[in-house]
Structure formats: C-alpha cells, structure tokens
Amino acid sequence: MKELVIIGQGPAGISAALYAIRGGASVTIVAKDNGALAKADHIQNYYGFENGISAKSLIAQGIKQAENLGVKFVRAEVSGIEFSDKGYTVKTTDGAAIDAGAVIIACGTSRNVPPIGNIEKFEGSGVSYCAICDGFFFRGKKIAVIGGGAYAKSEYEVLKNIVSDVTILTNGQTPQFDLPCDTRKIVRFEGDSKLESVVFEDGTAENFDGVFIACGSAGAFELSKKLGLESANNKIVVDENRATNVPGIFAAGDCVAGLQQIAKAVCDGMIAGTQTLKYLKTN
C-alpha cells in the first residue's frame, strides 16, 4: 500500500493517523509546529478529562500515541504538494520530498494573505499563490515574491529557474534568509484589468507583471490554491467522506467548514483516516 502523508499534527491529523495506521496504512505526518491548539491554555470541554487538560499535554499525548503505533513524524514546513507518477509528492522548505499515494490536509485555517490594497481584485490577473502552477506564464516578464520567511525563499528558488527577473519584497518584514530583497512596506497593487505596479508606503511605485504571495507558511489555503482544490469562505470544500474535488486529497479539521472545536477535528480526522485508507486500498 502506498504511503499516506498527513500535513498537520493537531487533533485532526493525529486522529486520521491513528485510524489509518491501525487499518494497515503506512503513515507519515509532516508538521512544522503544533498549530493553533498550542496557543490554548486549559481545555475543559473535551471528553474524558474530569479536571480538563492542558493543550500542551493533549498535543504531547496524541503525538506519543501515534508514535507508539508506528506513525512517522517529519518536523518540517511544507512548501507544496505536487502531482507525481506515484500519486503526489509533498515538498518541504528544506528540500525534502515525500512520495504519497494520498494526502490529508489537516493544518488549520490560517490564510497568509497580507493586507495589501486591491489584492483580491488582481487574484488570477497578476496575483498568484503558486510558483509551480503559474511561474510558466511569466517567462520573460518581471515578477516579485512577497514574503520574508522560508516559504518565500522556497517559492523564489522555483521561480528563478523559470523567470529571469525575480525580486523578493518582504513587505516590511525582516528577511529570514541571505538573499537580495526589498524590505519596503507595500500599500497596494495598481492596474486596470491586470496587475501593473506595486505602490510602497514611502510613496514610490515599481512596475511588476506579477506577484507571488508567500507570506508566513504554506497553510491549508495556500496548499489548496496550488492543487486547484475547491474552496469557499477560506475553507476547503469536502464531501461527507472529507474528500476534496481532487482524487486522493482529503482535508480535515479547522481547514474545512464547521465548528473549530477539538471534538469536531477528531471526528473529521477519523472520517478522513478511514476513507483515505479505503482509497489507498483501491488505487
């Protein structure tokens, strides 16, 4: 059976892993950190803990439970998911590539879209969220990558092999890498039917044919954009089996519609894990 890769080690990701590995799948979880749950303090509305439990303890116990069953963990930041002859390849910002027959996206709901004027107006008309998907269309043109972290560097590395004129705009952020970049704060994008220029806080403007948004980490929103997953209201659209519109890609937890609660995430994970297992056994 091909590998199942789960992105995210919160309640949804761990729950999916537990059901899938007990069903016979080989499971790898890729996660940079413990997600939104790590920001919580004491949890008192989750079944089975008469005095509640700290978020830190719940996370640690879930990870240990999965490890005891044989789930493999990779501590890394995912930069994208690509189609491959084996199904999919999950790539990380440190250059790793993990082959997968199926993928469960369970990395929360953060949408790393900077508050730049007119950004939504030019989405699909100069504003892109996927270097691999759209870089080809900007050959011979001038483009920019917006972001200052490992994800932005990863997108830049992809684009520089396709486009000769690529600038990194950190949008006021201190860059986390040693590459030439412009740190000016961005106010808005301008253009008629398509993006034509970037206007900075200091009143200056520079012409660009396209910009690639790569702020923070690649969360569920960015990954869904790269794969062409259907989304609505900043959530990945799934069916009752937590399957997306792309075969072999499932989603669970806060990145799909519904209450953002641990109990719901665990339920999502259970459904995604069992249904992904069925998919792997027949594909």
Please tell me whether residues 230 and 93 are part of one structural domain: yes
Domain contains 16:
yes
Last residue of a domain, one of 162, 194, 213: 213
- Parallel, antiparallel, or unpaired: how do β-strands 87-92 and 97-100 relate? antiparallel
Quick one: which of 115, 113, 126 has its CA closest to 191?
126
Long-range CB pairs of 51-55, under 8 A, 24+ apart, other chains included? none
Q: Is residue 8 a part of any domain in this protein?
A: yes
What are residue 73's DSSP bridge partners?
29
pLDDT tens track for 152-202: 998 999 999 999 999 999 999 999 999 999 999 999 999 999 999 999 999
Q: What's the CATH number where 90 sits?
A: 3.50.50.60
Bridge partners of 207, per DSSP, are 197
In a shared domain, residues 96 and 162? no
**Residue 26 exposure: Cα atoms within 13 Å on the Cβ side:** 7
Same domain, 18 and 94: yes
pLDDT at 110: 62
Is residue 12 domain-shared with residue 105, that is, in the same domain? yes
Q: Helix/strand/coil (H, E, C) string of 131-169?
A: HHHHHHHHCCCEEEEECCCHHHHHHHHHHCCCCCEEEEE
- What's the pLDDT score for residue 138? 95
Whether 271 maps to a domain, the answer reads yes
100 in the same domain as 225: yes
What pLDDT is attached to residue 33? Answer: 86
**Two tokens, residue 17:** 């892993």
- CA pair distance 203, 212, nearest whole angstrom: 22
pLDDT in tens, 78-87: 989 999 998 9
Residues 61 and 8 in one domain: yes
Specify whether the CB–CB gap between 70 and 3 falls below 8 A. Answer: no
Pull the structure tokens for residue 184: 């000016």
One digit per residue, the tens of pLDDT, for the chain of length 283 reads 899 999 999 999 999 999 999 999 999 999 988 877 877 778 888 999 999 999 999 999 999 999 999 999 999 999 899 999 989 999 998 889 999 999 999 998 765 789 999 998 998 899 988 888 789 999 999 999 999 998 899 899 999 999 999 999 999 999 999 999 999 999 999 999 999 999 999 999 999 999 999 987 777 878 888 888 998 887 999 999 999 999 999 999 999 999 889 999 999 999 999 999 999 999 8
Residues of the domain holding 269: 4-111+218-282
| Same domain, yes or no: 205 and 244 | no
- Is residue 195 in some structural domain? yes
Same-domain check for residues 98 and 188: no
Please indicate, yes or no, whether residues 95 and 148 belong to a single structural domain of this protein.
no
Please give the tally of structural domains in the chain.
2
